[in-house]
Structure 1
Amino acid sequence: MQANTVLAVLGLAMASSACAMAETENLADPATASLTGEACPDVGERAYFFWMQPRSAEPGDEISLSPYWTDMPGSYNDLPPGCVGDLEAFPEDAVTFDRQDDGLAIASISADAEPGTRVRLEATYRGEYALNGIVDIYREEENPLVGLWRQAGDSCPPESAVRELVFTGGNEMSVTWTPFEVYKDYWADYQYDPQTGAFSFEVEGGNQIPEDIVAAGTAQVDGDRLVFKDVFFGTPRQAEGGCRATFVR
């Protein structure tokens, strides 16, 4: 009788230990949410996302996966990062995941990721609402255009300087004269040869597309300066003339 009691106690202890180990392993899994229940507010059927537009990253970069929701353009409402789980990447070998002590998930781009690869990160919030983010892989030495530029147009006609010229690692670009929330005047695909400087773009759509665009020429990056030759992004309707000034970061 006494032996049976000892065995039963040992069995319960082993089961309890196994459950504790399972819970520890579960929490250690970077793809698993670290928060649940009331710690994760339920805002209902909204649009959930990590970021709205594709972002660019180089091999070896680390990206914080902060979740947001919105129910109107330009509205970004943050959520507890520890409530994000079921993390996946496509292609899966392009990214590994880790998680900080505060629950924030980190996506690390593989050092072997090929430039030109488009990575889709997927996850769930509270285990029920899907969210994602797109990452375009590039190398700065192969495409120094990537990033946000603005025209140093103090000597240009009023309202003619481009205030946001954005290039992505996925060979997409946008032009905006008067930035407001997520508004863009027009967007395009671009081609750039860093060896020769040859640059061209093809407009894909927009809210304001000037008729005097010159979409081919050369581009030269010199530190934080970007100089175009022959290329002209157009004269916006609110300006009396165009601006051909140098761009800066």
Structure 2
Amino acid sequence: MLFKSIGLSFALLVCSVAEAACPALLEASGVEGKEPLTLGRCEVQVEVQSPGARGQVLLKLNEAAAQRWREDLKAGTPRWSAMLGARANVRGFIVMVPQGVLLESHSARLLPGAAWLWDARAATLLLVMPGGNAPAPAEAPALPPGVDCALFNTGRLLFWFDDRDVQAGELLASQPALVRAPHDFVVVPAACIGGWRLSPGAPAAMDAVSGIGMVAQDAKDGTTFTLIAQVGAQTVQGKMRVVDPVKHPLRGLWRQTREIACGTGAQRVPPQPLHELRFRSNGDFSATWTPFERYIDYEGSFIYDPASGALNLAVTGGNNLPVDRKIVARTRLDADGRLIVSVLPGGSRNPTDAGVCEMIFVRR
């Protein structure tokens, strides 16, 4: 039975084969020296299903992807051997989802209660999560070594630091984590999560047992909703924002690779490149010449006009503020997808060569 929530039914990821980009939905890795075996969002049809108390997602591969997977998972190949030995990881678009085995018709030796089922003949990949009729794991369910669910009763739990951008038709598979220090995170095991839900009116469906979900095909750009998980006595939440990439051409993280001299147009490697120029779908931006943990030089809001290339930045805070808090820049995106921007002020610690008129950025 197709899983339905709030009157929405999800069955198909629609992407044009002609599109240049096909963002990764899943990848199967774990073979040393071999590239991951991937699935793009435009290579599959997706059904979020919930038979009884169990959560599962069925991915039906298109012909090109099916041929690739069948070839790479033939009996005796390195990938097949890795999957058979449960050494390969399957990663989701947002976070890692359970490690397991991919065999031609069944699975074995998985993390507690979870199963990845690859059917080569039907070209389908089925993710089955705890509860129900999954093949029994070879060993009794166990938490990771040294981890007890009591660990997550106190302390800060989160999904991500900033709002998370998602796209219409995106598969959702998330895991909360306990933050013990800036670089010390402990992922909450599935066995310690008491249930999942979405905020009322969310343009998405989610299975309450597994936390597997999908954003609606017709989700509108700018719509926000919240992912909620119960971990012991704590409730952890993560805000998501639906983004149409066509409407947000600057969105994402950019790094400077070149600068262009005034007059001559000569390009050179900048002595002090702007390593992180970030534009968010909510209209915020930040600029950081030398990234370190959560340090930024300055941040604020931006307004971008794709037709004229005008970029207006309003600086509201940071650690190394420019003299002018209202920055007007010219931009253009070239045929190679590079972002070319008139010089942005760098503040007292990042002076700009007066002979430079433009900065060239590529996506990180």
TM-score using structure 2 length: 0.52
Question: 4+ residue runs of structure 1 moved beyond 6 angstroms?
Answer: none
**Superposition deviation, residue 213 in structure 1:** 5.9
Letter of the structure 1 residue corresponding to residue 320 of structure 2: Q
Q: 2:337 aligns with which of 221, 224, 229?
A: 224
**1:131 to partner: Cα distance:** 1.2
SS state of the match for residue 245, structure 2? coil
Matches of 2:199 and 2:169, distance apart in 1: 17
Give the match for residue 144 of structure 1.
249
1:42 lines up with 2:153 in the alignment: no
Find the partner of 2:230 among 105, 110, 124. Answer: 124
Shift of 1:65: 0.6
Q: Residue in 2 aligned with 1:56?
A: 165
Q: Which moved more, 1:146-155 or 1:212-221?
A: 212-221
Corresponding letter in the other structure for 2:149 = P
Q: What is the distance in 2 between the residues matched to 1:58 and 1:132?
A: 19
Which residues of 2 match residues 182-197 of structure 1 at below 5 A? 182-197=294-309
Q: Is 1:75 aligned to residue 184 of structure 2?
A: yes
Partner Cα distance (1:225, 1:201) in 2: 20
Match for 1:109: what amino acid?
Answer: V
State the AA in 2 paired with 1:210: P
**Helix, strand or coil at the partner of 1:141:** helix
- What RMSD in Å do the two structures reach over aligned CA positions? 3.0
- Per-residue deviation, 1:176: 1.2
Alignment match, 1:25? 52
CA drift at 1:227: 1.2
Instruction: Please state if 1:181 is matched with 2:181.
Output: no
| Aligned residue type for 1:56 | D
TM-score normalised by length of structure 1? 0.73
Residue 54 of structure 2 contacts residue 210 of structure 2 at CA under 8 Å; is this kept in 1?
no
Residue identity matched to 2:340:
V
Q: Answer yes or no: is 1:165 the counterpart of 2:277.
A: yes
Q: Which runs of 5+ in 1 are unaligned?
A: 1-23
- Unmatched segments (≥5 aa) in structure 2: 1-50, 58-128, 132-140, 260-267
8 Å contact 1:151–1:163 — kept in the other structure?
Answer: yes
2:53 aligned counterpart, secondary structure: helix
Letter in 2 for 1:131: V
Aligned equivalents of 1:153, 1:72: Cα separation in 2 = 36
Pick closer, same or farther for the CA change 1:116–1:28 going to 2, 3 Å.
closer
The size of the alignment, in residue pairs, is: 216
* Deviation for aligned residue 1:29: 9.1
Give deviations 1:82-137, integer Å, cap 9, x for gaps: 533432223533121248xxx863332212211112222221223x2221212222
| Identity across the alignment (%) | 27
Deviations 1:57-96 (A, max 9, x none): 2211223212211133343322214533432223533121
Q: State the one-letter code of the partner of 1:145.
A: L
Q: Residue 93 and residue 136 in structure 1: after superposition, are their counterparts in 2 closer, same or farther (change >3 A)?
A: closer
Checking the alignment, whether the CA contact within 8 Å between 1:150 and 1:248 is kept in structure 2 is yes
Higher helix share: 1
Partner of 1:42, secondary structure, is helix
Corresponding residue for residue 235 of structure 1: 346
CA contact (8 A) 1:151 1:245 kept: yes
**Alpha-carbon spacing, 1:194–1:239, altered in 2? closer, same or farther (3 Å):** closer
After superposition, give the CA deviation of every residue in 1:27-81 in whole Å (9 maximum; x if it has no partner).
4499xx949x974632241111111111212211223212211133343322214
Moved more, 84-93 or 64-73: 84-93
